[in-house]
Amino acid sequence: MDSSATQSSPEASRFLSETESELLDLSVEAQRADWVYATYITPDSEALSARAFARFVAATVRRAKESTRFGPGELGPIDRRKTLLLRLSLPLIAPDDPAESLELTRLVAAMQGAYARGRHVPVGQTSPLDLQGLSRILSESRDPALLADVWTGWHAVGRVVRPEFLRYVELANRGARGLGFADQGAMWRSKYDMEPDAFAREVDRLWSEVAPLYRSLHAYVRSRLAAVYGSDRVPERGPIPSQFLGNMWAQSWESIFPLLAPPGADPGFDLTKLLVDRATSPEEMVRYAERFFVSLGLPALPPTFWERSMFVRPRDREVVCHASAWDVDAEEDLRIKMCIEITGEDFQTIHHELGHNYYQRAYAPQPYLFRDSAHDGFHEAVGDTIQLSVTPEYLVRIGLLDRAPDASRDIGLLLFRALEKVAFLPFGLAVDRWRWEVFSGALAPEEYNPSWWSIRRHYQGIVPPAPRSADEFDPGAKYHVPANVPYMRYFLAHILQFQFHRALVRTAGVPGPLHRASIYGSDAAGRSLGAMLALGMSREWPDALEVVTGERRMSTAGLLEYFAPLQRWLDEQNRSAPVGW
């Protein structure tokens, strides 16, 4: 049978039809069980959720491996894409050997358990703190000795997971090779509708375009921190010690904004106070976000959303409060799970989470294997795109703010957002850049930690509080590494959200600077966005990107335009300061 055939063989068609039916049923079962566990944590609900998820994963792995018996000549183009997506649908494939498969499952569970149990007693205190408590100290304290102690104390968790990680790499690679991929990293890169090496080059291109903006931000932050802590602790040249950046992994820096804020940085309003003064309820917080999407011409959320979502922390049981969006039955049973507080931060988070829900609803009519975003960066980017429209002008239009602040306040707003978005970019790149080298075998185990810091110094311009030995395993102190969660999606989302925003603002015909523009109320923007969302994964991501942007290549132009006023301001601030490290 010729590889250009438009029809699949009867056997292949039957296999894929049965696969989609089986996996849909198991997925819905797993989603329901996981919802019960997340909103009613007990040993029983945990066991039932784990069992349902294990059934779903086992069936997915079995079906993915069975699909390798069909060559390209037996598959039409649609089924060829479905088969590829099936093989890429899980970030971890166990080896064929049952004993090794069980070992790999236990290794990942053991690493996650060790991470979750991580604790440290900060200097001067008597009780151990978990990651949340230690992170609070990093974001709030200005005591250099305490910051270094907390950073070092948490990173000790990496040494605990290191032995399991070494064996995990070996078994994960064996599973990936069983599906025809060179290694685990190549399997992850194959999700992006291009050859793995071509995707790596594409990522490098994107970084090269935004690196000058990051270096300008880095130079400004370094000079301000040197003024606060002294040049003996934060050098006026070279990399920044990571413990001073307000985040355990120096991945975002907005918590140290008070140390960096220029004169006049106060935006002139406090969104949290505006919401509290209006006695806004948690449900009304969600209603604001729903009305945003309805203003774009998209349908209101189904009644079951309001009946089944969790908006507040229950008083009678333990729950997982981390905000998340759910598509329980792959049709209309959409939900969010949050312990909403009446804050400006949660107001924006809700807009983001509903972005996921509207994406889920739009691609629900697609076949099961196409029910996801065009690539994994798209899902996160869509939610963040909506957040970019939560501007002072939007707050005026919905009656929360009397008038937008003067443009003279914009630098403060842009700097805060850059500390969140631009500061993240090199970290979002570095995590998987390092793992690609690990999985490929380019790094020996004794090189894991030195290479981790070499890569982070190269991209981020940061260093640890003190030299780290090869026996440490600092990558293990970031959840996504021991939990086997690919990270490149977050880097891509931070690029794509500005590309989407720029295109939708133009479609909506909104005048003024990009950072002030909101697509609220634009049917035209809603039609464009909705058309892309409805494609799901049925087409390669350049096709989906083109629907909204008219472009077939990921672009940093939107991000650079958005932060252009800040870039000019940073250049002025850095006139007498060194840039780079």
- Nearest-CA neighbor of 490 among 423, 541, 436, 560? 423
Residue tagged 């880095």 (tokens): 218
- Nearest-CA neighbor of 558 among 247, 213, 248, 126? 213
Helix (H) or strand (E) holding 462: strand 462-463
Tallying the residues shown for the chain, one arrives at: 581
Whether 262 contacts 408, CB under 8 Å: no
Whether 384 contacts 497, CB under 8 Å: yes
DSSP string, 232-258: TTS-SSSPEEGGGGSSTTSS--GGGHH
Counting Cα atoms < 13 Å in the Cβ hemisphere of 115 gives 23
- Nearest-CA neighbor of 533 among 297, 374, 385, 377? 374
First to last CA, the chain: 58
Rounded CA-CA distance 396/402 in Å is 6
Neighbours of 273 (CB within 10 A): 12
Which residues are tagged catalytic? 322-323, 352-353, 356, 380, 480, 490
Say which amino acid occupies 12: A
Rounded CA-CA distance 291/299 in Å is 10
Beta bridge partners of 462: 240
